[in-house]
Structure 1
Amino acid sequence: MSPVLSVRGLSKAFISYQRELHRILRWLHCPIPAPQYTWVLRDIGFDLHPGEAVGLIGLNGAGKSTLLKIITGTLKPSTGSVRIQGKVAAILELGMGFNHELTGRQNVFHVGGLMGYSPTQLEAFLPDLKDFAELGSYFDQPVRTYSSGMQMRLAFSLATVQRPDLLIVDEALSVGDAYFQHKSFERIRQFAREGTTLLLVSHDKQAIQSICTRAILLSQGQIAMEGSPDDVMDFYNALLANHQEQHIISAPKGDNKALLSGTGEAFFVDICLCDDQQQSIEVLDVGQQVHLKVKARTQTFIPDLVLGFLIKDRYGQDVFGTNTYQLDQVCYEVKENQSLSWSFRFPVNIGPGTYSITLALHSQAGHIEHNYAWQERALIFEVINQSQRSFSGMAWLGGQLECHQHYE
Structure 2
Amino acid sequence: MGSIQVRQLGKAYKQYPTRWSRLLEWVTPFLGVRHRLKWVLRDIDFTIAAGESVALIGVNGAGKSTLLKLITGTAQPTLGSVTTHGRVAALLELGMGFHPDFSGRQNALMAGQLIGLSVEEVAALMPEIEAFADIGDYLDQPVRVYSSGMQVRLAFAVATAVRPDILVIDEALAVGDVFFQQKCYERIRGYCQAGTTLLFVSHAMNAVYSLCNRAILISAGRIALDSSPREVIDLYNAHVLRQRDGLPPPAPVAASAPPLPPPAETETGTKAGAEAGTEAASAATAATPVPAAAPATIGSFEHGGARIEAVGLYLDDQEAATVISDRAATVRVDARFGQAYDDPHIGFQIRNARGEAVFMTNTYCMRQRIGPVRAGEAVRAEFSFKASLAPGDYTITAGVAEGGAGDGDFRQTLTRQQDAGAFTVLRNLDAIVWSGVCNLDPIVEVQRQAATM
Measure the CA separation in 1 of the matches of 2:3 and 2:355.
Answer: 27
Quote the residue 1:298 is aligned against: 337
Measure the CA separation in 1 of the matches of 2:68 and 2:258.
Answer: 40
2:412 is equivalent to residue 370 of structure 1? yes
TM-superposed CA distance for 1:48, in Å, is 1.3
Residue 274 (structure 1) aligned to one of 296, 314, 324: 314
2:431 is equivalent to residue 380 of structure 1? no
Quote the residue 1:395 is aligned against: 438
Task: Output one character per residue of 1:120-142: Cα deviation in whole Å (capped at 9) or x when no partner.
Answer: 22211111111111111222222
Does the CA-based 8 Å contact 2:309-2:334 persist in structure 1?
A: yes
Q: CA RMSD in A?
A: 2.9
Secondary structure of 1:245's counterpart equals coil
Q: Check 1:152–1:261 CA distance in 2 against 1; reply closer, same or farther (3 A cut).
A: same
TM-superposed CA distance for 1:373, in Å, is 1.7
Quote the residue 2:22 is aligned against: 20
Quote the residue 1:165 is aligned against: 165
Task: Output one character per residue of 1:326-362: Cα deviation in whole Å (capped at 9) or x when no partner.
Answer: 3222445555554332211112112221100122323
Quote the residue 2:382 is aligned against: 343
Measure the CA separation in 1 of the matches of 2:376 and 2:145.
Answer: 59
Identity of aligned residues (%): 40
Measure the CA separation in 2 of the matches of 1:169 and 1:98.
Answer: 16
Quote the residue 1:287 is aligned against: 326
Q: Check 1:118–1:387 CA distance in 2 against 1; reply closer, same or farther (3 A cut).
A: closer
Q: Check 1:202–1:406 CA distance in 2 against 1; reply closer, same or farther (3 A cut).
A: closer
Counterparts of residues 46-125 of structure 1 (less than 5 Å): 46-125=46-125
Q: Check 1:306–1:154 CA distance in 2 against 1; reply closer, same or farther (3 A cut).
A: farther
Q: Check 1:338–1:210 CA distance in 2 against 1; reply closer, same or farther (3 A cut).
A: same
Q: Check 1:71–1:253 CA distance in 2 against 1; reply closer, same or farther (3 A cut).
A: closer
Read off the aligned partner of 2:26 and give its amino acid letter.
I
Task: Output one character per residue of 1:255-310: Cα deviation in whole Å (capped at 9) or x when no partner.
Answer: 7843422444333233221112x111111122221111122233444454333322
2:201 is equivalent to residue 201 of structure 1? yes
Secondary structure of 2:330's counterpart equals strand
Does the CA-based 8 Å contact 1:241-1:368 persist in structure 2?
A: no
Read off the aligned partner of 1:63 and give its amino acid letter.
G
Task: Output one character per residue of 1:191-223: Cα deviation in whole Å (capped at 9) or x when no partner.
Answer: 101110000011111111121011111111111
Residue 346 (structure 2) aligned to one of 285, 307, 325: 307
Counterparts of residues 163-242 of structure 1 (less than 5 Å): 163-242=163-242
Q: Check 1:60–1:399 CA distance in 2 against 1; reply closer, same or farther (3 A cut).
A: closer
Read off the aligned partner of 2:315 and give its amino acid letter.
D
Measure the CA separation in 2 of the matches of 1:364 and 1:23.
Answer: 52
Structure 2 residue runs without a partner (length 5+) = 263-295
Structure 1 residue runs without a partner (length 5+) = none
Task: Output one character per residue of 1:203-258: Cα deviation in whole Å (capped at 9) or x when no partner.
Answer: 11111112101111111111111111111111111111333236747589987843
Read off the aligned partner of 1:177 and give its amino acid letter.
D
TM-score normalised over the length of structure 1: 0.89
TM-superposed CA distance for 1:393, in Å, is 4.2
Q: Check 1:330–1:211 CA distance in 2 against 1; reply closer, same or farther (3 A cut).
A: farther
Measure the CA separation in 1 of the matches of 2:127 and 2:257.
Answer: 56
TM-superposed CA distance for 1:398, in Å, is 5.0
Q: Check 1:385–1:116 CA distance in 2 against 1; reply closer, same or farther (3 A cut).
A: closer
Measure the CA separation in 2 of the matches of 1:190 and 1:310.
Answer: 32
TM-score normalised over the length of structure 2: 0.81
Q: Check 1:303–1:105 CA distance in 2 against 1; reply closer, same or farther (3 A cut).
A: farther
Counterparts of residues 28-39 of structure 1 (less than 5 Å): 30-33=30-33, 35-39=35-39
Q: Check 1:89–1:392 CA distance in 2 against 1; reply closer, same or farther (3 A cut).
A: same
